[in-house]
Every structure is written in structure tokens, then in C-alpha cells.
Chains A and B, each alone.
Chain A
Amino acid sequence: MLDTSGGAPMIEAAGLRKRYGETEAVKGIDLRIWPGEIFGFLGPNGAGKTTTIKMLVGLLRPSGGAARIGGHDIQRQPIAAKSLIGYVPDQPYLPEKLTAREFLQFIAGLYQVDPVAAQRRGEELLKLFDLQDRGDELIGGYSHGMRQKTALSGALLHNPRAFFLDEPTVGLDPRSARLIKDILREIAGRGTAVFMSTHILEIAERMCDRVAIISGGQVIAIGTMDDLRAGRTGESLEDIFLELTGGAEEAEITAALT
């Protein structure tokens, strides 16, 4: 249930910056994502999407500005903020010598989920992601897609209020990708703020309540699809994306080459 009318945002970036030596990867980003909102974060390669997400979940320290989850500053009140977060990275490195069931149990311990509830929910998630029969195998033997699904199960186990996904559909078969879309809608419906970066514009267009386009470490457009379409010739998100990020010129070059 999207609620942007009042109340506090669940995810907030205020003047978020990240500098690596001489390079400024993220140049002062301001974002607000409300409970129940599915927010798409788009941008070309190297635009700063993953860096921004990693600052929001506390994996990277911002060089400036602040990231807040549920009103808690991720750097100053990390425990309170992180207890609200679920995060699935694009490359989910998981403990290879644990089975999926043991992994979920470990996550339950870390997030202090009641053991009985965690076991019940863990089994539900394993069943949902078609991992129930292989839940006693070591994760080291899993395919990329299975690891992705295990990471998703772990991230959903504690009912996060702010759910971050970095390229969630990479490596997943169409059925699993569809499943993730359904799950995202469902958890957003229950009031969780979903923040996802994706290259698949069709997913962003169909699923997201609002999208932001980042290029060169800056947000160059933000709003609903209707907001983005306003005053532009292009209809689809792809057209808008290419127009804003300079991809249209590259498309012309490609056309000339072919």
C-alpha cells in the first residue's frame, strides 16, 4: 500500500556522496522511498547504482551525506537500521559449506527471529523457490540461480521493511524471475519499501511505482512513469532512458554499423 502522502520515508538518501580517490562515483543523491513503494533505480553501467545501494545498506561508508532506514542513520544507528533491511546483492557470495536450511537458520540467529517461526517461514520460502528438495545440499554445489534464490530466501526470512535488490533477475529462469516480481508486489502490498536496481527496463516500467535514472553519479530524472513521459517525445521507458543517458547517439552508431 503506497503511502507518500504523509509519514516518514522508509529509505532516505540525503546528499549521499562517495569518492574513490580523485573519482567521485556518487555526487550528492537525494532519494525518498515510502513504505509500500516499489522503486526502480536505473542507469548505465558504472553510473553509481551499486555504490548507492551499498551505501544505503551500510556496506560502504558515504564520503558525504546520510543514508537513513526507517529514520535511523545507517552509520550512526546501524543495528536499528539494519534490522529493517533485506538485501540481495548481484553476486550473492554465501557460506559454501552450509546447506540452504542451515543458512536460513544462521540468518534467523543473526536477525533474532524466533526459531520456530524461522523454521516455518524458512520451509515456506524454500518451497516457494523450489529449493525444498535440495535444501540439505551444501550451497557450494548450487548453480548461480539457486544461490540467488537462497540469498532471496535469507533476505526475506525476517520480513524486512526495506528490501534492496541489486539486479534481482540476473541468472534466474523466467519462472523464478516471474516469482520474484510476484513476491515484490506482495511484500510491497504489506508495506515494505522495495528498492531495486535493474537493467531490464520492461520490469521497471511494469512493476515500479516510481523510477530514478542515475548517470555519472547523479540522479538525472525521478518520478512516476507519467512524470517521466511529461514533455517528451518518447513513450517507453527505454526511449526516455536512452534520451536521458545519451544512449540514443549510441543507438544511431549501432544502426550505422549494422
Chain B
Amino acid sequence: MSIWNAIIVIARARLLIARNTFWRGKLSRKIGLLSLLILLAFGAYGVYWVMGAAVRTFTSQRFFRLIEAAARRDPSLGLPTHVTRADVQPYLDALPSQALFLALVVLILTSFTTVLTSLYLSGDTDMLLAAPVPMRAVFVVKFFGGLILPYVLLFGLLGPALIGYGQGLGYGPAFYVGTVLALALLPLLPAGLGALLVMAVVRVVPARRAREIVSVIGGLFGASWYILNQFAPEVARNVGSVRTLESLRRLDVPLLPSAWAGHALVAAGRGEWLALLAYGGLFAGLSLAVFAGCLLLAERLYYDGWSNMASQGGKVRQKAEGKRQTPQAIPSYLLPFTFFLPAESRAILYKDLRVFPRDLRNLQQLIFPLALAGIWTFRLLTGAAPAGGGSGAEFGRFLDAAGSAGISFFICLTISGALGGPSISREGRGFWLLRVAPISSLRLLLGKLVLAYLPFPTVGVLFVLFLTALRGGTVGGVLRALALVLLVGLGASSISLGLGAAFPKLDWENPKQQTTLRAGCLTPILYIVYVGVAVAAVFGPPALAALLGPGWVVWLAVAGWLIVIALTGAVVWGSLTFGAARLDQIEVG
């Protein structure tokens, strides 16, 4: 079979699969997909409209006069006092390069995972690689199959932005043709390099392990980006300056492939054919050369990686020479904390404690909450402690205790949400084991609740004590904060666990799919309602006592705490029974 024939056959099969998945899928899935497409269409139109309007504004006389007025009012801004179209034009010309640069960076960062999943981790890889079709044909279909989402985003968001830009500047048809070509070629370079890297890595590291490692690195990168954003005011105090604008223009240096594409687009818009040929030729040449290089090497590397993956054995855990390892049923340090659990719930808990840290993709979900904890701790360390003396200071300390509880609670909540929310979904296709075992859904959830709740009595308590030591506080304040974190934490972890169990996804391929849309939407709503009522019940009575008189303080405080305890009991019971009832309805086909 020729390579083209093979590509057509495989691509047609994939299209059929996609068509059948849609037409024969559930109605809710169809509605969801159509809603997403409508949303994307609205987003695309919005981006197109905003970009067109922005470009027309930036080239208008009114905008020039505004800049001149600002320059006269504050000369330190470094703005020119007389502005013409020629002053603005270089910045506008740099826009396509900047947009394409950002897209290129995102594509580079995501290309490894995208290509790894597509080339090696999709279900049909074995069948296709064992079939008598050219290896390059399989590679081409898999390579472009992995690029579908990047292409949708490029053509759905960046495309309309560039078209809006071209319309705003009155560019001709060559610009639009160039835009389509630039977007079509843009992913070839990063994905091609990603594919070469993937094919090399898979020869050494199992594909699944590679994806786990990349997930963690991705999580670390995301957390770093978040931390950088949090400290942006300290790092760059004034970003809205002419200097920043000049820095952005540096992305237009014609050494970057994205700048070649950007220059080519501007040249196409202006009808500068020689520049278009030079820059466009450079960009297209490099992109196609990298892709051709991949294609040449794929014949050998792709197959080698696959056969290496198929022959890799399992990793021996804690191998001890000449000594057989007998894993402890329940570690002794856990027994005092789990004695109240039924034996089968304890087995679930301990299994989860073993499995969770072994899958790096699970740890990736904890990176963000931990980064958040780090940032807040730093902010508290560098912030001012409340001043002492007087009733105002007393109220300040009261609020500070509440603040400590709040910060500790939200740090634990993010960790607990990652542990408990997808707890049932995490069982995946192995859920049948729990379904055939003699354990009720309620006891199953009880075992899982302990894991979801674990951050509150450990991290939460330590955080409250740490914050109190740091910022000072009364014993009463600490006890109140601890009680609040422990009580409301129990309710909140029950909510995430119960909803996660009620709406699980057991056939996920990627851990990001473990949280379903319904669970993901309902959980924060219930969090807000529950936490809002609990906080009002604890902090409302002191305010009310101020109106009714000091004799009411104790009674109202007791009533408030009783409300929180009753509410938490109801939330725990309600969430777990709802989750268990829904879990009982699940069929394992």
C-alpha cells in the first residue's frame, strides 16, 4: 500500500470514529459539544471584533490626540508630544509577530505531551503499527491527529484576531491567504521538534512514565507562572510604559520563526512581494524541513520506540536482596487515626494512600495548592502584625484569627478537593473490583472521606498554629480557628467527595478528565453556600451581641457553634448518602 493510500484509509477510519462517537453518543454529550462550538464561534467573533476595533482606534486621529494630551500632562511617561500614523505603525506591524510568538511558545510547551499521547498512548497504536501499512503513514495520521485541538484553537481564536487586525488596517486578500497558511504551518515546527524528542525519550523511558513526568513539569511550570504573577507588582512596578512597549517590539526581531511569519503577513497585507517571498519562504521552509526530517526519521524511530515500550517490564518496588518484602496491612502510625473505621473502609484508605503518591499525575494536582500555600505564607511573613492595645486591637486580633482560619481552610480545601473530588473517578476501569466486593457504597465513601479530610487535621492545624505563632493571638482565637477549620473542612471534603462519587467518570484516559462538568460546577456552588452559612453562624453572633447586650454573648456564641455542628452533620450525611445512592446506580458494563 502506498503511503498516500494508507494515510487516506487511516484518516477515513478516524473520521468515521469521530462521526459515530458524535451521532451515536448521548444527547447530553451532543448538546455539550454544540454548546462548546457555539461558545467558540461567539469567542471567535468577539476576538475578531475587538481586534478590528482596537486597530481602528490605534490608527485614529482621536487616539493620537489622547497620547499627545497624556504626554503634555506627564512628561515622565516618555510619550511623544506630536503623534502621527508613522509613530504608531511600527508597533502595529509588530503585532502579528508578537501574537504568533505567544502561540509558538504555548505550542512548544504543550507539544511534547500532545505528540506523546497521540503517537504512543492512543488505543489503536498497536493495531496500526502491526498492520502492513507504511510506518510513516501511521506517523502522519497520528501526528496531525494530535494537532487537531491546537489547530482548532489557532483557527478559532488567533485566526479571527489576525483577520480583525488585517481588516482594521485595510489589508488585501493576500493577507488572509497568508494568515491561513501561517496558522497551518505554525504547529509543524514545535510539534515536529516535540515528536523527535518524544521518539528519542520513549526509547529510554516508558511512554506512560514520560507523560507522568511531563505532567509534573507542566504543573511546576504553571505554578511558577502563577507565583511570578503574584509577585508581578514587586518585579515590575509599572508595566504600562513606553519601555514595556519597546520590550514587546523585541519579539519582532527577525531571528525567530514567529517573526518571519509575522513579517510575511505584514508584507502580504502591504503587497511587498519580495519581503513576503523572503520571510514567508524562510518560515515555510523551516517548518516543512522539520516536518520532513521527522517523517524521514519516523520510519525507524517511531517503530523502535513502540517496540521498546511493548517490551518494558515492571519496576520492582523496594527490592531487598535475599529478603522477601511483606507489606504491612495498615501502617502502625495510621492505626490510632483509623481505629474507628470499618476494616473494609480502612483497606480502601490504605490502598489510596499507597496508590496516590505513586502516580506522578496525581501529585501534579497538588502542585498548585502547595504553591498557593507558599505564596500566602510569604505574604503573611512579610505583612504587618496587628498593633496591640484597646478594643480596636481586640477586634483586630479576632479578625486575624478568622483570617488564619480562612487561609488555612482554603489551602486545605484546594488540596482536599484534588484528593477527594476525583476519588471515585480515579479508580477508573478498576472500579469493578470495588463493585463486586462486599462493601457498601457508604463505607467505600467513608474510607475515601478520610483521605479527602486528611489535609485539615494535618496541614490545616499546623498552618493555624504557625500563623498564630507568627502573628500573635489569644488561646480562644486559636481554638476557634482550629474548630472552624476542622469542622467546616469535614463538611467541605464531604461535598467534594459526594459530588465526585455522584457524577464520576470511570473511562478517563487523562487524569484531567476525572472531574466531570456536573461535579466541577456544583461543588464550588455548594462550597460557597455551606461555608457562607457556617461562617455567618460563627461570626454573626458577636455582632448581634453588640446590639442585644453583653449578656447574650455566650448564648449566641454557643448557638452559633451548635448551628455549625448541626449544619456540618447534615452536609456530611447528605453528601455521602447522595454520593452513595448515585454510586449504587452505576453499572459496570
Contacts and interface: CB of A to CB of B under 8 A. Distances in A.
B31 interface: no
Contacts of B585: 61
Contact of A134 (B314, B348, B351, B432): B314
Contacts of A17: none
Contacts of A161: none
B469 interface: no
Contact of A141 (B314, B347, B355): B314
Interface in A71-120: 78-83, 85, 87, 89, 93-99, 101-102, 105-112, 115, 118-119
B260 interface: no
Given A58-B435, A136-B317, A106 B351 contact: yes
Interface in A131-185: 134, 136-142, 154
Nearest to B345: A109
A55 to B, nearest CB: 9
B326 A119 contact: yes
A206 to B, nearest CB: 28
B315 interface: yes
B235 interface: no
Interface in B400-443: 428-430, 432-440
Contacts of A57: 436
A82 B436 contact: yes
B312 interface: yes
Nearest to A20: B589
A54 interface: yes
Which of B429, B430, B433 has most chain A Cβ within 10 Å?
B433
Contacts of B324: 136
Contact of A95 (B313, B314, B430, B437): B430
Given A110-B344, A111-B437, A59 B587 contact: yes
A79 B436 contact: no
B436 A87 contact: yes
Contacts of A85: 436
Contacts of B73: none
B319 A110 contact: no
A123 B36 CA distance: 53
Contacts of B237: none
A99 B316 CA distance: 8
Interface string B307-344: 00000111111110000111101000000000000011
Interface residues of B, number: 41
B346 interface: yes
A99 B430 contact: no
B222 to A, nearest CB: 24
Nearest to B584: A78
Given A93-B429, A94-B433, A102-B327, A138 B314 contact: yes
Nearest to A51: B589
Contacts of B344: 109-112
A83 B588 contact: no
B315 A93 contact: no
B358 interface: yes
A112 B347 CA distance: 9
A62 B440 CA distance: 19
Contacts of B312: 141
B327 A101 contact: yes
Nearest to B434: A110
A115 B319 CA distance: 22
B588 A54 contact: yes
Nearest to B328: A105
Which of B428, B434, B436, B587 has most chain A Cβ within 10 Å?
B436
Contacts of B348: 109-110
A137 B314 contact: yes
B343 A112 contact: yes
A142 B314 contact: yes
B329 A110 contact: no
B354 A98 contact: yes
Nearest to A84: B438
Nearest to A50: B589
Contacts of B87: none
B354 A102 contact: yes
A83 B432 CA distance: 15
A60 interface: yes
Nearest to A112: B343
Nearest to A164: B436
A78 B437 CA distance: 9
B359 interface: yes
Interface string B207-240: 0100000000000000000000000000000000
B319 A60 contact: no
B354 A89 contact: no
Given A59-B436, A95-B351, A136 B587 contact: no
Interface string A16-48: 000000000000000000000000000000000
B350 interface: yes
B323 to A, nearest CB: 11
Nearest to B355: A97
Nearest to B429: A93
Nearest to A104: B327
A108 B327 CA distance: 13
A138 B343 CA distance: 24
Contacts of A139: 314
Contacts of B319: 136
B100 to A, nearest CB: 41
A60 B316 contact: no
Given A99-B327, A101-B326, A110 B347 contact: yes
A209 to B, nearest CB: 24
A137 B438 contact: no
Contacts of B434: 110
Contacts of B430: 93-96
A66 B213 CA distance: 48
A59 B432 contact: yes
A79 B440 contact: yes
B318 A110 contact: no
Interface string B257-271: 000000000000000
Contacts of A81: 438
Interface in B353-404: 354-355, 358-359
A58 to B, nearest CB: 6
A95 B430 CA distance: 6
A94 B429 CA distance: 8
A79 B439 contact: yes
Contacts of A140: 208, 314
Contacts of A78: 438, 440
A123 to B, nearest CB: 8
B208 to A, nearest CB: 8
Given A95-B351, A137-B316, A141-B315, A109 B346 contact: yes
Given A85-B436, A137-B314, A60 B347 contact: no
B354 to A, nearest CB: 6
Interface in B542-589: 585, 587-589
A110 B438 contact: yes
B329 A105 contact: yes
B355 A98 contact: yes
B317 A138 contact: yes
A119 B225 CA distance: 48
7 contacts: A59-B435, A59-B587, A105-B327, A105-B347, A109-B344, A112-B344, A137-B317
Given A98-B351, A109-B343, 4 more contacts: A101-B326, A107-B437, A110-B438, A154-B433
In the A-B complex, the 3 residue pairs with the smallest Cβ-Cβ separation, listed nearest first, are A141-B314, A109-B347, A137-B314
Interface of A: 54, 57-61, 78-83, 85, 87, 89, 93-99, 101-102, 105-112, 115, 118-119, 134, 136-142, 154
